[in-house]
C-alpha cells in the first residue's frame, strides 16, 4: 500500500495563548496513547469486528451479484432504516448522488429514515412500483419505525409488491422483522450480530447499498485499510491526537461540545453519521461531549455568530479540500464587487474557509483542520476509520463503553406502552 497519508491534519490552532499549551498537552496525549494501545490490542485479538470487517472480501462477492441485478432492474431504491442502518449508506452514496439525480448506470436512492406520514405518503404516491426496489434494514429486527414503515408499504401495495423487489437485512435470530419477511417470502440477509449499527458502514449495511449505487467499494475499503494500517502499525496517531485534544479541552476548559464542519457538500451526510457515532458512543453516565454538525459556507450565516460570540465551550474540526472543481471566473464592473472580479466559486470557497479558521483561532476557539486533495472513495474510507478510532479512544479516556446505548431503551419501552394503551 502507498505510504502517503490520505488525510492531512493540522492541530496548531488548538494550542492557544490563554488555553491549552503544547507542553501541558503531552500528559493528555500520553494517556490517550495508553488507551489507543488497548484499542490496538483488542483489534489484534479480533475483538473489534467493526474494523476487521474491512478485510472481509468474501462478503462482497454475493453482494456484487445482487447489486448488478438491481442496477439493471430498478430506477429507484427506497431504503427503510434509521440511524446506523441508514447514515453510513447515505454518506457513501452522497459521493455521486445529488438531491435530484444519480449516475446514469445506477438507481436513485430515497432514504426513509424518519416516519413523518406526509413524507412517506408523498414518496409512495410518486414512485413507479414496477421499477423500484426496497431495502429494509434493522439490526435488532425490532425497530418500531422501520417495522411500521415496512408494514405500511406491504399494506399499501399488497400483492403488487413482488418477492424479488424487497431485501431485508437483520440479525440471524427470531425477530418481528425476520418473521414478517419470511412470511411474505422476501429475501433476508444477515446483519452481523457483533457489529453495532453506528459502526456498521463497512458491513452489508453500508456496502450493499453502496454497490447498488455504483460506489467503488474496493477503493472505499482500500482507503480504510490504508488508513487503519498507518494508525495501528505506522505510528501516525492522528486519532490519538484528536481524542487527546477533545479530552483535554473537555477536562480543563469545559468544552462540552465538538463541531464538525466540512466545507464540502458531499460530506453533509458524513457529519450526520459522525454525530450519531459520537453521541451514542460517548453520552453515558452523565458524561459526554455533544456533537454538532455544520456545513461551510452556509452555516457561517447561521451558527458562526454563536461560535465566535457565544460561550467558548466548543472544539472545532473543519474538513476542507486542497483543490476544487473547475469553475468559471466572474466579471463585474461594480466597484463594490471588485473583490469578486476575475475570481471563481472555488476562490471564494478557499478564502471563506481560510478566513473562518483564522477567525476562530483569533477568538481562542480550539480549531483542527483535516484536508485532502480530493474527495473520493479512498479518502472517505479513511475518514470513516479515523472517526471510529477517535471515538473508541475518547470513550476509554472518559471511562465508558463505546459500544452500548442503554439510555435510549427507556424511550422505546414507553413508546410501546403508549401505543398499547391506545389500542386497548
For the stretch 53-77, pLDDT in tens is 999 988 888 899 999 999 999 999 9
Rounded distance, CA 294 to CA 83, Å? 18
Q: Backbone phi, then psi, for 63, in 5-degree steps?
A: -65, -35
Beta-carbon count within 10 A of 112 CB: 22
pLDDT at residue 335 greater than cutoff 50: yes
- Whether pLDDT at 110 is above 70: yes
Mean pLDDT across 181-200:
97
CATH 3.40.50.10490 in the chain is located at: 8-42+220-398, 52-215
Whether the pTM exceeds 0.85: the reply is yes
Please name which of 7, 11, 30, 50 lies closest in space to residue 199, comparing C-alpha atoms. 50
pLDDT given at position 251:
97
CATH entry 3.40.50.10490 includes domain 52-215: yes
DSSP state letter for 111: E
What are 284's strand-pairing partners? 287
Work out the percent of the chain whose per-residue pLDDT is above 90: 88
Q: Would the pLDDT of 403 be above 80?
A: yes
**Which residues does the annotation mark as catalytic?**
280, 301, 412
In the predicted model, what is the mean pLDDT of the chain? 95
Above 50 in pLDDT, residue 218? yes
Position 1 pLDDT exceeds 50: no
**pLDDT (average), residues 80-89:** 97
Whole-angstrom Cα distance, residue 231 to residue 98?
32
Q: What is the dihedral of CA 80, 86, 89, 92, to 10 degrees?
A: 130
The per-residue pLDDT for 99 is 77
CATH class of 8-42+220-398: alpha beta
Here the cell at position 244 is 487527546
2 — pLDDT class (breaks 50, 70, 90) = very low
**Bridge pairing between strands 166-170 and 187-190:** parallel
**pLDDT for residue 3:** 57
- Average pLDDT (233-247) is 95
For 322-331, give one letter per residue: b (16+ CB within 10 A) or e.
eebeeeeeee
Instruction: Please determine, for residue 409, whether its predicted confidence score (pLDDT) is greater than 80.
Output: no
The pairing of strands 76-80 and 367-372 is unpaired
**Tens digit of pLDDT for each residue in 292-329?**
999 999 999 999 999 999 999 999 999 999 988 888 99
Asked whether residue 100 carries a pLDDT value surpassing 80, the answer given is no
How large is the average pLDDT for residues 243-254? Answer: 98
Q: What is the pLDDT of residues 151-166, one digit of tens each?
A: 999 999 988 999 999 9
User: Mean pLDDT over residues 398-407, rounded?
Assistant: 91
The grid coordinates of residue 20 equal 491549552
C-alpha cell at 32: 490517550
Contacts of 316 (CB under 8 A, 6+ apart): 258, 259, 261, 307, 360, 365, 366, 367, 368
Instruction: Name the nearest CA neighbour of 95 among 17, 262, 210, 230.
Output: 210
How is 191-213 classified by DSSP, letter by letter?
PPTTS-GGG-TTSHHHHHHHHHT
DSSP string, 310-330: S-S-EEEEEEEESS----PPP
Amino acid at each position: 500500500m502507498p505510504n502517503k497519508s490520505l488525510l492531512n491534519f493540522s492541530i496548531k490552532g488548538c494550542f492557544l495563548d490563554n488555553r491549552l499549551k503544547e507542553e501541558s498537552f503531552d500528559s493528555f496525549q500520553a494517556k490517550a496513547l495508553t488507551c489507543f494501545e488497548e484499542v490496538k490490542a483488542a483489534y489484534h485479538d479480533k475483538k473489534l469486528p467493526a474494523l476487521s470487517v474491512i478485510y472481509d472480501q468474501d462478503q462482497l462477492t454475493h453482494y456484487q451479484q445482487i447489486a448488478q441485478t438491481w442496477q439493471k432492474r430498478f430506477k429507484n431504491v427506497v431504503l427503510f432504516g434509521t440511524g446506523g442502518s441508514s447514515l453510513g449508506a447515505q454518506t457513501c452514496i452522497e459521493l455521486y448522488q445529488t438531491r435530484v439525480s444519480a449516475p446514469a448506470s445506477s438507481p436513485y436512492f430515497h432514504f426513509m429514515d424518519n416516519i413523518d406520514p406526509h413524507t412517506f405518503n408523498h414518496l409512495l404516491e410518486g414512485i413507479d412500483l414496477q421499477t423500484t426496489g426496497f431495502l429494509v434494514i434493522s439490526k435488532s429486527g425490532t425497530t418500531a419505525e422501520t417495522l411500521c414503515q415496512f408494514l405500511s408499504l406491504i399494506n399499501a401495495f399488497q400483492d403488487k409488491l413482488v418477492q424479488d423487489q424487497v431485501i431485508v437485512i437483520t440479525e440471524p435470530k427470531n425477530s418481528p422483522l425476520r418473521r414478517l419477511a419470511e412470511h411474505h417470502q422476501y429475501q433476508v440477509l444477515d446483519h452481523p450480530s457483533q457489529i453495532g449499527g453506528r459502526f456498521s458502514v463497512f458491513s452489508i449495511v453500508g456496502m450493499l447499498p453502496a454497490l447498488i449505487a455504483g460506489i467503488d467499494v474496493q477503493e472505499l475499503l482500500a482507503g480504510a485499510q490504508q488508513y487503519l494500517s498507518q494508525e495501528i502499525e505506522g505510528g501516525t496517531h492522528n486519532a490519538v491526537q484528536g481524542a487527546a485534544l477533545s479530552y483535554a479541552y473537555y477536562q480543563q476548559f469545559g468544552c462540552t461540545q465538538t463541531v464538525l464542519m466540512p466545507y464540502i457538500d458531499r460530506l453533509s451526510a458524513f457529519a450526520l453519521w459522525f454525530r450519531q457515532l459520537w453521541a451514542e458512543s460517548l453520552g453515558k453516565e452523565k458524561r459526554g461531549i455533544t456533537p454538532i454538525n455544520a456545513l461551510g459556507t452556509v452555516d457561517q450565516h447561521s451558527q458562526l455568530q454563536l461560535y465566535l460570540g457565544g460561550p467558548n465551550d466548543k472544539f472545532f474540526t473543519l474538513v476542507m479540500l486542497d483543490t476544487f472543481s473547475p469553475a468559471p471566473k466572474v466579471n463585474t464592473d461594480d466597484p463594490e464587487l471588485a473583490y469578486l472580479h476575475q475570481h471563481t466559486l472555488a476562490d471564494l470557497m478557499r478564502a471563506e474557509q481560510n478566513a473562518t479558521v483564522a477567525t476562530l483561532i483569533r477568538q481562542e476557539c480550539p480549531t483542527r483542520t483535516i484536508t485532502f486533495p480530493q474527495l473520493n472513495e479512498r479518502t472517505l474510507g479513511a475518514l470513516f476509520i479515523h472517526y471510529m478510532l477517535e471515538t473508541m479512544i475518547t470513550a476509554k479516556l472518559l471511562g465508558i463503553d463505546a459500544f452500548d446505548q442503554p439510555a435510549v431503551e427507556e424511550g422505546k419501552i414507553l413508546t410501546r406502552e403508549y401505543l398499547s394503551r391506545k389500542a386497548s
